[in-house]
Every structure is written in C-alpha cells, then in structure tokens.
Amino acid sequence: MSHEFSRRQWLQRTSAGALATSLGGLAWAQNNNRPLRLIVAFAPGGPVDFVARTLAETLSRELGRTVLVDNKPGANGAIGAMETLKGEPDGSTVWITSVGAAAINPALYDKLPYDMVRDFTPVSLVVNNVEVLVTSAQNPAIDAVDFVQRARSTNAPVPMASSGIGSIPHLALLQMQDATKLDLLHVPFNGMAPALTNLLGGQVAGVFADVPAVMGQIKAGRLKALGMASRVRHPGLPDVRTFEEMGFPAVDTNNWYAFFVSARTPRPIVEALNAATRRALADPGVANRLLQSGAEPRATTPEEMAALLRADTTKWAALIKARNIRLDS
C-alpha cells in the first residue's frame, strides 16, 4: 500500500514538473517581444544560410516573435560561436552550425575560444546532410565499385578533391581510402565551389560533397552520383547505393546542422525552443523545401542531440588523430 502511495506521489510530482516546464517555456515565448537572432556561422547564400532562412518564418510563427537571420562567418565557425555566447542566455540568441564547428574543430585546433560541452546546450538537430561521391558525367564509372576497380588499374595515385583540410568531404575521403585501400591523392580547395569546378574540368577524378551542394548538378546530368557515404540511401537519390551496400563498410559521414544556445540558458527556454523547432520542421512546406534541396529535416530532443555530438566528436577525433591532421589556431 505504501509502495502504491509513493508511486502515486512520484507521478504527481513528475506531472507537475513537466507542466511547470511547459508553462514556463510558453510564458517565455509569449512574453518576450525581442527578436530572436539566429546566428549562422557561415556566409549568406550557402547551405547553412539556406536552412536557417527556410526555417526563420515558420519559427517566427511558432514562437510568436520575429526571427532574424544574422550571418557571422569566419574562423571555421568560431566567430558565430562566440557571437552566440555574447548574447544574454535567455533564448534570444540561437546558433545554427554544422558538424564541423561543433564536433570536428576540437580535434583540429590546439586552442579554441569555446568548449562545446562547457559553453553550449543543444536545442535540436535540424537537418542531416550526408555525403555523396560524385564524378563528372564524362567519367565512365557507373558506381563506386566500378570507380574503385578502374582506380586500381592505374599506376598513379588518383587525384581526389575536397573543400579543405579537415572538412567533412576530406574526412569522407579518408574513410573511403581506409575501406578500399586505394592510393588517393588529396587535392584540397578553399571551398566546394572550386573543387567542383576542377572536377568538371577534369583536373580531379572525384569529390565527396553534401547532397544539397550537388543535387542540382546531378539532376541536370553534369555530375554522376557513385555512392552514398551513409547507412541508408538518400530519399532524393533512391537509386544510389550506399558504400556499405557495395561492400565498403565504415564510409559513413553526416554533415548535420543543429541549433545550440548558451549553456546558461534555463531549461524551460531550451524546451520551448525545441518544441518550436519540432513544429517548424514538421511543417509540410518547410519539410518539402528542405527535402527538395537535398537536406533531410530531422528534429531531436536536446538529449539526443547531445549524444550525437558526443559520438561524432569521438569518431572524428579518432580519425583526425590517426591521420595527424592539424590546423593552425
């Protein structure tokens, strides 16, 4: 009998706590008339900026307040991170960033001005952006298996582009090298645009890219998708097999984007932002626009996002350490 009473008390307290959290977040959203700044760690016109602007209007409606996209590019995302931390920890400043600034930079740089665990709290995952291996339409390879077989028949290293040292495309290339044992020559560029220009010009044989960065050129027939660096096929490219399906395990790369706020932000505010993000991503217009671009909308709880951040930080740190990749601070 006493056991039942204790259990009932626990349930009452849990329900009351959840209600208080929900009401606290609702009150914050309704009573805060200041614009919410959505800090984008990259320049206007890029894929992160596109996702932020796609979400901004719907987030404004869900939160009942204006959402302003504020681009703070530079230093591999560090400028956007520090700008977020300058704001009051009241949910009025939210950082949208890719996996690079959040989970890869800590292993690439000796010194960072921020610590993801100490300084930030995850709000939610926003989109998944898996990598796809592409080559020019003139390349005779029909898929990654054929590409690997042709590469093995050459007597010289195969030149492969990336958007820069330590970038997700570079790390995907290293995963492919480990899985296939190919002799690959890494040719890093300052961004994906010049990498694709050199691919189309025949100076390099292939490149890994976020699906949104190359979806248009794949659909137009200028680029050929050879394999997905992911566990499952991409909904926008359902006929392109994963590397694992083709017998090359552990080529699994996701350049996700996520929302973060200052670690000092009260929990009810984090949960209110999470709920609004979930509703915005579930909006059919938003979801369709993101999917058409090649991004895969995906919301999580703050705890799920924290687990993903930990897992990817560990995963990429191991590869970066094994290959002795460092960048100057």
**Are 59 and 167 found together in one domain?**
no
Q: Are strands 257-262 and 120-128 parallel, antiparallel or unpaired?
A: antiparallel
C-alpha–C-alpha distance, residues 318 and 308, integer Å: 15
SS3 annotation, 19-39: HHHHHHHHHHHHHCCCCEEEE
C-alpha distances in angstroms, 75 versus 80, 115, 248, 264? 9, 15, 34, 24
**Are 140 and 225 found together in one domain?**
yes
Number of residues in the chain: 329
**Are 100 and 113 found together in one domain?**
yes
**Are 109 and 216 found together in one domain?**
no
Contacts of 111 (CB under 8 A, 6+ apart): 329
pLDDT for the residue 11: 40
Query: Is 329 contained in some domain?
Result: no
**Are 120 and 185 found together in one domain?**
no
**Are 264 and 184 found together in one domain?**
no
Contact yes or no for 20/64 (Cβ under 8 A):
no
Domain that holds residue 75: 2-129+255-322
Q: Indicate which CATH number applies to the domain containing 188.
A: 3.40.190.10
Lookup result for tokens 């399906």: 245
Query: Is 327 contained in some domain?
Result: no
**Are 53 and 90 found together in one domain?**
yes
pLDDT for the residue 20: 43
Query: Is 83 contained in some domain?
Result: yes
C-alpha distances in angstroms, 218 versus 137, 139, 222? 9, 13, 6
**Are 96 and 142 found together in one domain?**
no
Query: Is 124 contained in some domain?
Result: yes
User: Which tens digit of pLDDT belongs to each residue from 263-277?
Assistant: 999 999 999 999 999
**Are 59 and 144 found together in one domain?**
no
Cα atoms found within 13 Å of the Cα of residue 267, Cβ hemisphere only = 7
Query: Is 287 contained in some domain?
Result: yes
C-alpha–C-alpha distance, residues 279 and 94, integer Å: 17
C-alpha distances in angstroms, 150 versus 216, 224, 265, 272? 26, 16, 54, 53
pLDDT for the residue 329: 55
Question: pLDDT digit of tens for each residue in the chain (329 aa)?
Answer: 334 334 444 345 444 444 444 444 555 555 567 899 999 999 999 899 999 999 999 999 999 999 999 999 998 899 999 999 999 999 999 999 999 999 999 999 989 999 999 999 999 999 999 999 999 999 999 999 999 999 999 989 999 999 999 999 999 999 999 999 999 999 999 999 999 999 999 999 999 999 999 999 999 999 999 999 999 999 999 999 999 999 999 999 999 999 999 999 999 999 999 999 999 999 999 999 999 999 999 999 999 999 999 999 999 999 999 999 999 75
Query: Is 236 contained in some domain?
Result: no
Domain boundary (194, 229, 264) is at 229
Strands (E), the chain: 36-40, 67-71, 93-98, 120-128, 131-136, 158-162, 184-188, 206-210, 223-229, 257-262, 296-297
pLDDT for the residue 328: 74
**Are 13 and 100 found together in one domain?**
yes
pLDDT for the residue 29: 53
- For residue 210, what are its two tokens? 């976020």
pLDDT for the residue 31: 54
Domain boundary (229, 245, 272) is at 229
- For residue 29, what are its two tokens? 């959203």
Main-chain dihedrals φ then ψ at residue 255, nearest 5 degrees: -90, 65
Query: Is 242 contained in some domain?
Result: no
Main-chain dihedrals φ then ψ at residue 151, nearest 5 degrees: -65, -35
pLDDT for the residue 49: 95
- The tally of domains found in the chain comes to 2
Q: Indicate which CATH number applies to the domain containing 290.
A: 3.40.190.150
Angle between helices 302-322 and 267-282 (to 10 degrees): 90
**Are 116 and 160 found together in one domain?**
no
C-alpha–C-alpha distance, residues 246 and 265, integer Å: 45
Domain boundary (195, 229, 263) is at 229
Query: Is 135 contained in some domain?
Result: yes
**Are 200 and 53 found together in one domain?**
no
Percent of residues in the chain assigned helix, strand, coil, to nearest 5: 50, 20, 30
